[in-house]
A and B are shown apart, each in its own frame.
Chain A
Amino acid sequence: GAGVSQTPSNKVTEKGKYVELRCDPISGHTALYWYRQSLGQGPEFLIYFQGTGAADDSGLPNDRFFAVRPEGSVSTLKIQRTERGDSAVYLCASSLSGRENTEAFFGQGTRLTVV
């Protein structure tokens, strides 16, 4: 596609449930990032993929969060045993490479609400 696509755009789930958020990056982009944006805050880094491997997962808040990118394209962010504090907008971005001076293109995000 022309841009980064994220599905669903909105997700409401009950506390304790499992959720999956999907990201389709721009074709040909080897680098893929997940960020979390809480209300009134800037995006905070969660995880970075270079190809199929998670090159940096230092931003994942705890072991309930996990992400995969099995074929080096689509990525799924998985959250187990959701908590109300997980409510946020989850943003995905992709870039041609993972270098610091490479422009990252962002999707519109998935708004997750845990009730």
Chain B
Amino acid sequence: AQSVTQPDIHITVSEGASLELRCNYSYGATPYLFWYVQSPGQGLQLLLKYFSGDTLVQGIKGFEAEFKRSQSSFNLRKPSVHWSDAAEYFCAVGATNKLIFGTGTLLAVQP
């Protein structure tokens, strides 16, 4: 069955530190992969997506993600976190007629 796993429920990083949020997927074919961010009281905003081609994809707000087929992973990274990055992050895989989301990782940023 198709699924997405985000192993880290909650992560705290210091402002200016690097960030990596983990995502593992289970999908039979070549996956379409997405990262969304959800700030309090806001809807989901797309950060980046992978469909094919270059396995390192760039997104908005300085985020990037790397697709690794051998590890079934699509981890999100940012070299230097800003306080405004505090939010919940969701990884998702595109399936027939829907997106399948992970349970999310809540990011806290310490000053």
For the complex, would chain A's binding face be called helix, strand, loop or mixed by DSSP majority?
loop
Whether A100 contacts B94 by the Cβ 8 Å rule is: yes
Query: Residue of A at shortest CB range from B95?
Result: A100
Query: Residue of A at shortest CB range from B49?
Result: A103
- How many B residues face the partner with a CB closer than 8 A? 25
Which residues of A are at the interface with B, using a C-beta cutoff of 8 A?
3-4, 33, 35, 40-45, 48, 55-56, 59, 91, 93, 98, 100-101, 103-109
Supposing A41-B103, A43-B90, A100-B32 touch, asked if A56 and B41 sit within 8 A by C-beta, the answer is: no
Docked Cα-Cα span, A97 to B96, in Å, equals 12
* Residue B74 interfacial (CB < 8 Å): no
- Return chain A residues, CB-CB under 8 Å to B42: 108
Say which residue of B92, B97, B98, B103 sits within 8 Å of A40 (CB atoms): B103
Smallest beta-carbon distance A46→chain B, Å: 9
- Scan B45-78; emit 1 where CB is below 8 A from any A CB, else 0: 1100101000000000000000000000000000
Query: Residue of A at shortest CB range from B91?
Result: A42
Smallest beta-carbon distance A14→chain B, Å: 25
- Give 9 closest A-B pairs by Cβ, nearest first: A42-B101, A100-B94, A45-B98, A56-B97, A106-B44, A106-B43, A108-B43, A48-B97, A101-B32
Smallest beta-carbon distance B83→chain A, Å: 22
Whether A101 contacts B51 by the Cβ 8 Å rule is: yes
Docked Cα-Cα span, A55 to B4, in Å, equals 23
Whether A59 contacts B41 by the Cβ 8 Å rule is: no
- Return chain B residues, CB-CB under 8 Å to A101: 32, 49, 51, 94
- Return chain A residues, CB-CB under 8 Å to B98: 33, 45, 48, 56, 59
Say which residue of B34, B43, B46, B96 sits within 8 Å of A107 (CB atoms): B43
Query: Residue of A at shortest CB range from B4?
Result: A42
